[in-house]
């Protein structure tokens, strides 16, 4: 009987799998807590934002430049910067130059104004507010020089932008625009400014219309009878009569103020004031408006 050959090869032992490194996975809550204040930990400081570096300094706290001639040289370049923080810094420079060195700023004002308008249109609220504050200081410094032919067209665009910003959603921008519109009225001849504002009292946006009405009311309150007649007293009363039916209370209140200011300027003789006022209204207003206008002063 033949013997089976013996296999001298060593048996193959299967390789044991390598032990994997242990990985610790944090629970979802632990991962979410990184960088968050917890009552058991030391409170973390609030994160810094770009807007936190913006300086909204009131006009009365601004200071003159020790070297305004040097500062003016790079002003337009800074205003044209693509870095909005640099633009804000340059707009604050404009404010200081306007208030304390207006004679140096005036020669380049024609170049500064379009950039100012562009900044007001910017959707970044910090840049928008800074540019509105710069507009206010420019009004204080230059007044009705802004209505001169070289700049008048840009002023028209600026005025519309201020009216639009006074009605937008962000409260701190609205409030700044309202203050600037008031400064504008205080800084300019009411007669010249009325011609600019008159274009917006019939605006399709009722909120813009109301803001324009308020500025017109503020202008009229500064005028005497001669100024009203030069602008057109009949036109003022007709504007007020139309606004008395406006949907917004702000516009209606402005209309009443225009009527009162016009009435006080027109009537000087205490004994005849009622008759002369009624006669004036009847002669210049449609019948449906007369009673409403007369009633304002009689009450």
pLDDT in tens, 82-111: 999 999 999 999 999 999 999 999 999 999
Check residues 65 and 76 and name the one with the higher pLDDT.
65
Look at residue 24 in the predicted model and tell me its pLDDT. Answer: 44
Look at residue 273 in the predicted model and tell me its pLDDT. Answer: 65
What would the two tokens of residue 150 be? Answer: 């070289």
Tell me the average pLDDT of the chain: 85
**Out of 119-123, 198-202, 295-299, which region has the weakest mean confidence (pLDDT)?**
295-299
Check residues 13 and 30 and name the one with the higher pLDDT.
13
CB 246 within 8 A of CB 206: yes
pLDDT tens column, 239-271:
999 999 999 999 999 999 999 999 998 887 555
Cβ atoms < 10 Å from Cβ of 168: 13
Look at residue 28 in the predicted model and tell me its pLDDT. Answer: 42
DSSP labels for 42-109?
Answer: PPPPPPP-GGGG-----GGG----S-HHHHHHTHHHHHT-S-HHHHHHHHHHHHHHHHH-HHHHGGGH
- Closest CA relative to residue 133, chosen from 143, 120, 144: 120
> Looking at residues 11-32, what average pLDDT do you find?
47
Q: Which pTM value belongs to this model? A: 0.80
Residue 12 has pLDDT above 70, yes or no: no
Residue 208 has pLDDT above 60, yes or no: yes
Look at residue 276 in the predicted model and tell me its pLDDT. Answer: 82
Look at residue 51 in the predicted model and tell me its pLDDT. Answer: 54
Look at residue 23 in the predicted model and tell me its pLDDT. Answer: 44
Look at residue 271 in the predicted model and tell me its pLDDT. Answer: 55
Look at residue 69 in the predicted model and tell me its pLDDT. Answer: 93
Rounded distance between C-alpha atoms, residue 150 and residue 97, angstroms: 20
Residue 57 has pLDDT above 60, yes or no: yes
Percent of the chain topping pLDDT 70 = 80
> Looking at residues 120-131, what average pLDDT do you find?
94
Q: Roughly what angle, to the nearest 10 degrees, separates helices 206-220 and 190-197?
A: 160
Look at residue 200 in the predicted model and tell me its pLDDT. Answer: 95
């Amino acid at each position: 009987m033949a013997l089976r050959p013996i296999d001298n090869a060593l048996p193959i032992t299967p390789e044991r799998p390598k032990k994997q490194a242990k990985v610790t996975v944090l629970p979802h809550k632990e991962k979410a807590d990184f960088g968050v204040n917890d009552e058991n930990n030391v409170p973390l400081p609030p994160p810094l934002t770009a807007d936190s570096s913006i300086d909204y300094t009131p006009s009365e706290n601004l200071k003159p430049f020790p070297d305004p001639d040097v500062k003016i040289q790079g002003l337009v370049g800074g205003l044209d910067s693509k870095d909005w923080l640099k633009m804000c810094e340059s707009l604050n420079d404009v404010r200081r130059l306007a208030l304390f060195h207006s004679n140096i700023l005036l020669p380049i004002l024609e170049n500064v104004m379009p950039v100012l308008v562009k900044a007001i249109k910017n959707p970044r609220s910090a840049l928008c507010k800074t540019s509105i504050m710069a507009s206010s200081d420019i009004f204080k410094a230059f007044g009705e020089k802004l209505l001169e032919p070289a700049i008048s067209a840009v002023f028209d665009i600026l005025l519309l932008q201020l009216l639009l910003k006074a009605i937008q959603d962000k409260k701190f921008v609205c409030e700044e625009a309202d203050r600037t519109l008031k400064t504008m009225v205080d800084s300019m001849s009411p007669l010249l400014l009325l011609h600019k504002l008159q274009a917006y009292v019939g605006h399709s946006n009722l909120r813009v219309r109301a803001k324009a009405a308020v500025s017109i009311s503020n202008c009229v309150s500064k005028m005497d009878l001669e100024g009203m007649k030069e602008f057109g007293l009949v036109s003022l009363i007709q504007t007020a009569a139309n606004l008395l039916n406006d949907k917004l209370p702000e516009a209606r209140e402005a209309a009443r103020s225009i009527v009162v200011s016009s009435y006080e300027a027109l009537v000087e003789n205490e004994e005849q004031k009622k008759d002369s006022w009624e006669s004036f209204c009847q002669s210049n207003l449609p019948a449906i408006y007369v009673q409403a206008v007369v009633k304002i002063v009689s009450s």
